[in-house]
Amino acid sequence: MTRIQLGAVDYIILLVYFAFVLGIGWALKRYMKTSSDFFLSGRSIPAWIAGLAFLSANLGAQEVIGMAASGAKYGIATSHFYWVGAIPAMVFVGIFMMPFYYGSKARSVPEYLKLRFDEKTRGLNAISFATMTIFSSGISMYALAKLFGLLLGWDFSFSIWVSGIIVLAYIVLGGLTSAIYNEVLQFFLIVLGFIPLVFLGLRDVGGWDGLTQRLSQVATQKGFAPGAFTESWSHLGSPATNPMGVEWFGMVMGLGFVLSFGYWCTDFLVVQRAMAANSMSAARRTPLIAAVPKMLFPFLVILPGMIAVALTYSDGRLKLPMKADGTMDFDMAIPVMLASYFPSGLLGLGLTALMASFMSGMAGNVTAFNTVWTYDIYQSYLNKKGSDGHYLWMGRAATVVGILLSVVTAYLASQFNNIMDFLQLVFAFVNAPLFATFLLGMFWRRATGHGAFLGLLLGTMAAMFHHGLTLPAGATAGIKGGWMISEVVKIYPSEMAQNFWTAIWAWSVCFGMTIIISMLTRKNKSDEELKGLVYSLTPKPEEERVVWYKRPMEFGILVLILVTILNIIFW
């Protein structure tokens, strides 16, 4: 891997970005008067800003680098993570779930669980979520430091502390508003930094037709049908005919339903952005507005990966580097593309965009952490009677501690890679069943606190058992699965197929057990208490007399039509 030499102009662009990020935090400082300003932006954010922040908070390192890597590995089928595994869930959360999140006046997702079910369900969710955010922001930092070390020769500790201190400063100063405003800035930076990359890459390979032609050679070389990398649905009939190793049912149910609805509809990291919106209508439109650019992101992040792999196989201007074990290092797709197409100047913009994506991922996690810590853990269990000023102070303190813990995580990750894989697995177990709990909680008034709590625990255990009893093809027992018995029950064609089915099992067990246990236990909340929290007991939100694109239902249907068209074009 050749080092990139940055010129003075590139550093100037990076410094301009840093100056604006910090300046926004500084300018917002005087508006942070109450804890609600700090944690919820005083519920004053317009829909389009909340929408872009909703998208940007999810646009962390794993998004840009990871989706390009998947594009290189699996081709256009990676778009399923967007057009199947994100958009439908985003439309659902906006139209059907936001009325309860926003209308209940809950300040966080765990707090909604407390209002709807009981204290223990909230506690379980709050603690696992808080741990997870710290872990993810640490991983984001680690990935940034590793990449910038490799590309620019920056010192590991230098990268960690610079990114950590900048994120810390702008959140402590301006709270959630500062994070949201910076996410909007980062959104534009990522889009405008990557468009020239896609343009130059496509021009170099001869447009979509040239790319299709080159990738058909790669596909036949790997033993697939020629279109396996450039057609998203045609090869999903059997796991053996597509590079992902999945079949359509497992993909649609596992990714499109369980995993995607679990993330977009219950993860406070994104839901928090909609909760900060300035009206019910704005909150409902937040995920829908986010869905429009989200739909187009495959062209920005997946295409560079596909171009990189096409060039590597056809003796183009660049080659993906090899990893120590002899496999291709797909994670380097974006960095290698930046290094080979961008001259000094634009290179500064591209690297700043990359930096912005790491920072927005980090900041999203930290703002979600400080809110859940302060409201759901500190105020609920440790100090119930503090003044509002005290909680505002605690929010700032939690931000500092959250960043420090992320730094520790980043150093740990650089030492013990296995611990990170292990933690990631545990969180996957905890997350997989969550959507069943929310679905029953919002749409079935008979669901009880005991039912929800035990259903979640049993769903998590189901995920654990499924993982422990199965293995992906070609893997050895251990972190990949099969650690419970010597003779595994089922061998999946790929790791992805195994993941999807782990999620499907966890969800189904949680769904079924929550129903059974709820029927066996007494209802712990009266219908009066559940008003505003459950569908059948909540008055339907009045559709205002506004133009169609300001009405969530019409907007949502339009988004679904557009995404269907995209699926058909790349079928």
181 touches another protein (CB under 8 A): yes
Q: Taking CB under 8 A as the criterion, which residues in 149-168 touch another protein? A: none
Q: Taking CB under 8 A as the criterion, which residues in 281-310 touch another protein? A: none
Cβ at position 200, least distance to another protein in Å: 6
CB-side neighbour CA atoms (13 Å) of 281: 12
Q: Which of 11, 188, 208, 548 binds another protein (CB under 8 A)?
A: 188
Cβ at position 358, least distance to another protein in Å: 18
Cβ atoms 205, 309 nearer than 8 A: no
Residue range at the interface with another protein (CB under 8 A); choices 196-204, 283-291, 324-332, 490-498: 196-204
Cβ at position 192, least distance to another protein in Å: 6
Q: Which of 17, 83, 135, 194 binds another protein (CB under 8 A)?
A: 17
Q: What angle do CA 429, 431, 432 make, to 5 degrees?
A: 70
Residue 292 and residue 27: Cα distance in Å, rounded?
30
DSSP state of 89: H
Residue range at the interface with another protein (CB under 8 A); choices 20-28, 301-309, 327-335, 396-404: 20-28
- Residue 569 phi, psi (nearest 5): -60, -40
Number of residues counted as binding another protein (CB under 8 A): 34
Q: Which of 1, 11, 27, 207 binds another protein (CB under 8 A)?
A: 27
Cβ at position 558, least distance to another protein in Å: 23
39 touches another protein (CB under 8 A): no
What are the structure tokens assigned to 567, written together?
């699926």
Residue 549's identity, in one-letter code, is Y
Residue 243's identity, in one-letter code, is P
Report helix angle 346-371 to 268-275, nearest 10: 90
Q: Which of 1, 23, 119, 421 binds another protein (CB under 8 A)?
A: 23
Cβ at position 523, least distance to another protein in Å: 42
Cβ at position 307, least distance to another protein in Å: 13
Q: Which of 6, 45, 113, 506 binds another protein (CB under 8 A)?
A: 45
DSSP state of 93: I
Q: Sign of the CA dihedral 235, 239, 244, 248?
A: positive
Residue range at the interface with another protein (CB under 8 A); choices 17-25, 77-85, 395-403, 415-423: 17-25
What are the structure tokens assigned to 228, written together?
């396996």
Work out the burial of residue 141: count CB atoms within 10 Å of its CB; fewer than 13 is exposed, 13-18 middle, 19 or more buried.
buried
CA 73 vs CA 48, 68, 520: distances in Å: 34, 9, 48
204 touches another protein (CB under 8 A): yes
Residue 31 or residue 444: which is nearer to another protein going by CB?
31
Cβ atoms 81, 255 nearer than 8 A: yes
In the shown chain, the binding pattern of residues 328 to 357 toward another protein, with x for contact by CB under 8 A and - for none, equals ------------xxxxxxx--x--------
Cβ at position 44, least distance to another protein in Å: 6
Residue range at the interface with another protein (CB under 8 A); choices 86-94, 192-200, 228-236, 544-552: 192-200
Residue 138 and residue 366: Cα distance in Å, rounded?
10
CA 356 vs CA 349, 350, 501: distances in Å: 10, 10, 34
Cβ at position 293, least distance to another protein in Å: 15
Cβ at position 185, least distance to another protein in Å: 6
Cβ at position 203, least distance to another protein in Å: 6
Beta bridge partners of 328: 322
Residue range at the interface with another protein (CB under 8 A); choices 12-20, 420-428, 520-528, 546-554: 12-20
Residue 333 or residue 349: which is nearer to another protein going by CB?
349
CB-side neighbour CA atoms (13 Å) of 320: 26
What DSSP letter does each residue of 458-517 carry, written as one string? HHHHHHHHHHHHEEETTPPSBTTB--S-SS-SEEESSHHHHHHHHHHHHHHHHHHHHHHH
Residue 98 and residue 115: Cα distance in Å, rounded?
15
Applying CB under 8 A, the residues found at the interface with another protein are 9, 12-13, 16-17, 20, 23-24, 27-28, 31, 41-42, 44-45, 49, 177, 181, 184-185, 188, 192, 196, 200, 203-204, 340-346, 349
